[in-house]
Amino acid sequence: MSMKRYDAFKQIHKGLRALLYDTALYLQHTDFSSYEEAELAFDKLESVLKAFHLHAEHEEGYLLAACGLVNPILVKEFESEHEKGEFLSHRLRSLVMVFKYATCTSSRLEAGDAIFKSFNEFIAFSLYHMNKEEEKLNNTLWSHYKDEEIMAIQKKLVESIPTTDLQFAHSWMLKGNSNVEVIIWLRTVKNSAPDFVFKGLMNLAESILPEERWAKVQEGLSEGAMVA
């Protein structure tokens, strides 16, 4: 039985997937004949595009850079896919501008439909891309780096992220990961980070997670403390 290796992508990718799914449903519920409803939807959409842009930047600066030392051809492939993601983001922002310059309800509805379909394409591409990263980039990292080395690279990546952006990412990671995964994450932070970091993440989890999920996470942490 092979030993489970450290996955530097799974936790953040589950958060990003949750963000995509949530925004897709919000767009489906949006009445694009209402300028006010559309503006709220566009705020959520922009949050998604910013999050994926920053995620790609951070990956390229650290995890892809590490892969590039041993497999530069593979990294070029993923950098090209990041460029496609940027293209899809620019197209969405252009369609939002089309909506904002629309002068009648029918034009706004048409633009809203185009935005919805374009975002579906962004989702499809992003889900495919993240799955591919988890397979090919992980295999490359696992073949050439120890888990401790991968964790050290990821630690530097996280430390490079501004607090506001990091809190946004953590919010969706809490929403997108299972209770067991959240418990393991919180235990790891408690054992490896300053106390104020752990307390901040606990406060965020309490404010983000539904009451039932939060109760199960607290129970899991208490059990872990008793075992330890």
**What is residue 223's predicted lDDT score, i.e. its pLDDT?**
81
Is residue 206 domain-resident?
A: yes
Is residue 2 domain-resident?
A: no
Is residue 168 domain-resident?
A: no
DSSP summary character for residue 96? H
Domain edge (last residue) among 131, 162, 193: 162
**What is residue 226's predicted lDDT score, i.e. its pLDDT?**
38
Task: Give the CATH number, domain containing residue 102.
Answer: 1.20.120.520
Threshold 0.85, pTM exceeds: yes
Q: Average pLDDT of each block of 10 consecutive residues along the chain (228 residues)?
A: 84 98 98 96 98 97 97 97 98 98 96 98 98 97 97 95 95 98 95 91 97 96 62
Tell me, yes or no, whether 46 and 114 share the same domain. Answer: yes
User: Helix, strand, or coil here: 115?
Assistant: helix
Residue numbers of the domain that contains 198: 178-228
Please tell me the total count of domains within the chain.
2
**What is residue 225's predicted lDDT score, i.e. its pLDDT?**
55
Q: Report the C-alpha gap between 41 and 24 in whole angstroms.
A: 10
